[in-house]
Structure formats: C-alpha cells, structure tokens
Copies of this chain bind each other. A is one copy, B any other.
Amino acid sequence: VYRKATIVGGGLSGALFAIYLARRGCEVDVYDARGDIRHEPPDPIRSVNLTIAARGLDGLRRVGLDQQAIDKLCTVLRYRVIHDSDGPVRRMSYGVQDHEVLYSVSRTHLTQFLLDVAAAEPGVRLHFHHRLVDLDKTTATATFFDGTGAIKVVRADVVVGADGAGSAVRRHMQSGLCADFSREYVPYRYKPLSIDAGNGDDAGLDPHGLHLWPRGDFMLFALPNQDYTLNGVCVLPAHGPNSFDSLRTPEAVESFFGEHFADAMPYMPRLVDEFLGRPASGFSTIRTSTWHYRDKVVLIGDACHGVIPFYGQGMNAAFEDCVVLDQCLAAHWRDWQKAFAEYERRRRVNTDTLAELSLANFTELRDSVRRPSLAARSKMSLAAYRALGDRAAPLYSLVSHSTTPYSECVRIARHRQRVARMLGADLAVACLVGAESVKRRLKPGRDRRS
C-alpha cells in the first residue's frame, strides 16, 4: 500500500518523520509556517541548544546518521559542571560507561541537517512559508496560506501534525472528539543568553560539560557549542523581585548577576543587552488524550506531549515517537488506524511519565544547591552502578542512556529502591561500593532470578 502524506511542521520531528515515511515508499509533502531555516539568518532567540541522548541517537541512526555525522554536528557532554555560589566547582558524571554521554547540539544545526537529508530523499518535497489555516480531518485535506497570501488546498491520505506545542493540526483534529487537553506553565520564565567560554587554551568554562548555576529559586545553565561558545539560559521566577519584570535596568541586571553568577559574568560580554532586549518565554507541559483520528490524522512530538526541558528529553521523546510510529506502521501496514491506535497506546503512558519526571527534575536542578544530599545520592548511585553493573543503573541512566520505555524505567527504579532498602543498603552502598563484598552479597538474588 502506497500513501500520500502531508506533514505539518518542518522542525525536528517533522523532518525526521518525513524521512521515515519516504523510506517506506510514501509520497511526503512537508509544510512549515516559517521560512527555510537552511537559508535564513540565524535567530539567536529560537536557537537554544538541545541534548541528544540514547533515544534521540536511536531515532537518528535509523536514518543513517553515523558517529562521524554526530561528531561533526555535536559536542560531547560527559558531566554536569555545577557552579555553587560558594565552594569549588563540582562535576557529576552522566554515566559510567563510555557510551553514556550526552551530545549538545544546536536546534538550528540539527534541523538544517535533517531537512537536508529529507530533501535528498526521493518522494519528499519541502514547502516553506505555508501556514495551516484549515483541516478537514475526515478527508485529510489541509488548507494553507502560502507566503503570498494565496490559499493552497492539499488532499492526502494522512496528515501528520508535527507542528509543536501550539499545534493547529491538534486543534482542528480534536474538534468534536471529546479530547481532554491541558497546557500548564511552571511559574518560571527564561531568556537565552550567550556565553563565550574562551578559546580552549585558558582556564575558561569546560567545553564538555553542561554547566549549571543552581540558586534555589532561579538558575543559569549553559550547553556548549563546538566553537568554545555556550548557549546559556537564565531561568527566573515569573513574578517577584528576581523576575524579568523586576530586573529592568542595566544596573539591576549587573548587580543581580554580580551577586549570584559572578564566575559566569566574565564570559558574558553581551549580558545586559541580551537580558534586557530579548523576550522572556515560559516552560509548559502539554497532555492530551487523543493523538489520532482514524487513519487520517496523527500527532507527534510537542503537538501531543510537550514537556519542560529539565530532563533534556523533549526532542529525544519526539524522535522516539517517530521510531515507535514507524514500527507500528510496519506492523499494521494495511491498517493505519490500527497502527495509530497502537502508537498512541504505546506512547502516551510513557510521555505522561516523562512529563512528571521532567517536572520533578526541574525541582531537583534548582534545589541541588540547597540539598547537597541530592548530589551525594546521585554520586552514590553512579558508584553502585559502576560496582554492580547494568542491574544497578540509576533512573537517570535508564532514561538518558537506554531506550527502555519511560514508564518501565520508573518501574525498574522503584523496584531497585525497594530491594536496596530491604538489603539495608541505600546509604550503606556508598561505603561498600567497589568492594567485592557487595557483589557477593547480591549474588544469591541474581542467581535466584536467573
């Protein structure tokens, strides 16, 4: 069966899924409301950096992105670098095995790369400056305004909504379907700020770490680029004295950063202009109960499950959508309604779990300054992991370095926590770690299981 698909949204997930569909023999038209990011001047406000973890890599490798391409596009991240307001800089490793690293990548560069791959695919056509203004879900007919203000009506066999958190496809599709929907913001706002980390020769900011300045109710974090710059993000409360609304003069900004982010300031020569000149944005969680309409319309990525970015999993989850949806299509090639239903059944429980994990991790990131026990526990669990191997992989490692479904990760982590408590472990493990005694003590359990 050969199908014609309309993909609304030519961002990361839209471009990736276009490649998947084309490789299954579909004719794919991708429509994006904006211009072609490959030929537009860079937009510093939209071009935040993202972290690619195991799920994202898996999704990319399936379309042929090899290690060489990854190294060309990305900066490897081996640890979190924590800049406390007092005391020395701390490092928290992202894993113990060689492959357990994250990759920092510019959203713009990765999107450009995927659009290039998609454009080279036979069967894929890219259309820019096309904004969806109508969708007849019963006939998969989409209506766009093109760049000239004219109307284009496109009928296909299926419409894929990859148009992000404010998805117009979602709104049209869910009309009349009794679909629960919510979009909730956390009471914080952010602005991107650029950081120049030196040239690699001096004692600048480590280019292989995700830098974090946790300050309780606000924070700064930064992801490195390949050219010794970093993309910083300043997160402040939505309201109150330390909010973007309150810090409105160069003096206020400099005094605030001088007090709280003194060691970052030397690397932020454009701080005041960027802080005062850029718009503040919010972080929201999107949950919705209905991801598809028959075999005609289906949603992927932020259009059906936006998460706040503090587990670094938003794009990874969107790419995993593409993988799972592709698998479901392969399994039910003659019945796309069944494929979409199976996809929704497999994914929704997991993205709902990711939403909770991301909210919880935000609290942890901000509070890691106030509660050093969190860092200690994290170190401890990594040490146990090193000593005990895969069966002690902590939740963070499962989420970031495996493709185990999110809800399964949580189930496994909870089970381990129970076992650890039963063995009187948890804190004890920290002392015993590395000692063969731990392995021996746990062995009988392992034997019984196998």
Q: What residues make up the interface of A, taking CB atoms closer than 8 Å to B? A: 131, 133-134, 145, 149, 151, 166, 168, 171, 175-176, 178-185, 189, 238, 281-282, 284
Contact = CB atoms under 8 A, between A and B. Distances in A.
A175 B284 CA distance: 12
Contact of A180 (B131, B134, B145, B185): B185
Contacts of A183: 179-182
5 contacts: A134-B145, A178-B282, A179-B185, A180-B184, A180-B185
A134 B168 CA distance: 11
A166 B182 CA distance: 13
3 tightest A-B contacts by CB? A178-B282, A182-B182, A133-B133
A171 B170 CA distance: 12
Contacts of A178: 185, 189, 238, 281-282, 284
A181 B180 contact: no
Question: Taking chain A's interface residues, is the majority helix, strand, or loop, or is none over half, making it mixed?
Answer: strand
Nearest to A187: B178
A185 B238 CA distance: 30
A241 B206 CA distance: 63
Contacts of A133: 133-134, 145
A175 to B, nearest CB: 6
Contacts of A131: 134
Given A166-B171, A176-B281, A181-B182, 13 more contacts: A133-B133, A133-B134, A134-B145, A171-B171, A178-B189, A178-B238, A178-B281, A180-B182, A180-B183, A180-B184, A181-B181, A181-B183, A182-B182
Contacts of A184: 180, 182
Contacts of A175: 166
A370 to B, nearest CB: 26
Nearest to A279: B176
A175 B166 CA distance: 7
A182 to B, nearest CB: 4
A281 B133 CA distance: 25
A62 B143 CA distance: 42
Contacts of A171: 166, 168, 171
A181 B168 CA distance: 15
Nearest to A189: B178
A281 B175 CA distance: 11
A176 B176 CA distance: 25
Contacts of A181: 181-183
A171 B181 CA distance: 13
A131 B134 CA distance: 10
